[in-house]
Amino acid sequence: MDLRAEMQIDTLIRAMEHVILPAIDPADAAAQEQGALVLATLRLIADRLPMTYRYDRDELARYVTLAAALLEALDVEDAARRALAVAHAEGADTLARAGAEPAELLERSRVLRAHVGDLAERVAGAGAECDTLRRLIFTAAREQTIRERKWLEPTGFDAAAADLPSLEAQLPAPHNNRTTPGGRP
C-alpha cells in the first residue's frame, strides 16, 4: 500500500507551511507558538521515523552486548543473574531474527508484486486453462483489499469497513519461529 506514514507526514508539513501557519492570527501568540511547534514536531518525526526500527534494533543490540559482558563478569549465581541470563538469551534470539531492514522488506514485496502483476496480465487474457491461477490472484486481491480497507477506515470513505475483521486479527504478530514453524496462524 502506497499510502504510508512518511508520505502523509510530508503532506502535513507542507499544509502547515503553505496554508495553515500563514493563516494564524499574528496577534494570537499561543496559536502562533503551538502552530510552530506542531510543524517542528512533524519535521522531527519525518526525519526520525525511517530510522526508528534501526534505533530499536541498536538499542536491543547494545543491551544484549552489555548483558553478555555483565554475565561474564558476575561471579555469583543468584536469582538476579539467572533472570538476566534468561533475558539475555531471549534478547539475543530476537536480535538474530531482526536482521532485515524495513526498506529491504518493501523492496522484496515490490519485486514480487511486479512479477505477479506480469502474470496477472497474462492470466486475464487466457482461457479456462488458467482458472486456478485466476482464483489464486482473486483470492489474494480480496484478502489484501480487506486489509487495506480496514487500515484506511479512519478516512471515512468506506462505511462497510467497520464490519471487516480488525487489523489485530488480520496482522498477527510474527510468531517465534522455534515454536510455530511455518504457516500463518
3-state secondary structure (DSSP) of residue 164: coil
Q: Which stretch binds other proteins (CB under 8 A): 10-18, 40-48, 49-57, 58-66?
A: 10-18
CA angle 170–137–146, rounded 5-degree value: 30
Residues 6+ apart with CB under 8 A from 64: 88, 91, 92, 95
Contact pattern from residue 132 through residue 161 relative to other proteins, giving x for each residue in contact according to CB under 8 A and a dash for the rest: -----xx-xxx--xx-xx-xx--x-xx--x
User: Is 110 an interacting residue with respect to other proteins (CB under 8 A)?
Assistant: yes
Among 18, 54, 97, 108, binds other proteins (CB under 8 A): 18
Residue pair 85/45 in contact (Cβ under 8 Å)? The answer is no
Residue pair 95/60 in contact (Cβ under 8 Å)? The answer is yes
Among 121, 131, 169, 177, binds other proteins (CB under 8 A): 121
Expressed in angstroms, the distance from the first to the final Cα of the chain is 22
Binding stretches for other proteins (CB under 8 A): 1-3, 7-8, 10-12, 14-15, 18-19, 109-110, 113-114, 116-125, 137-138, 140-142, 145-146, 148-149, 151-152, 155, 157-158, 161
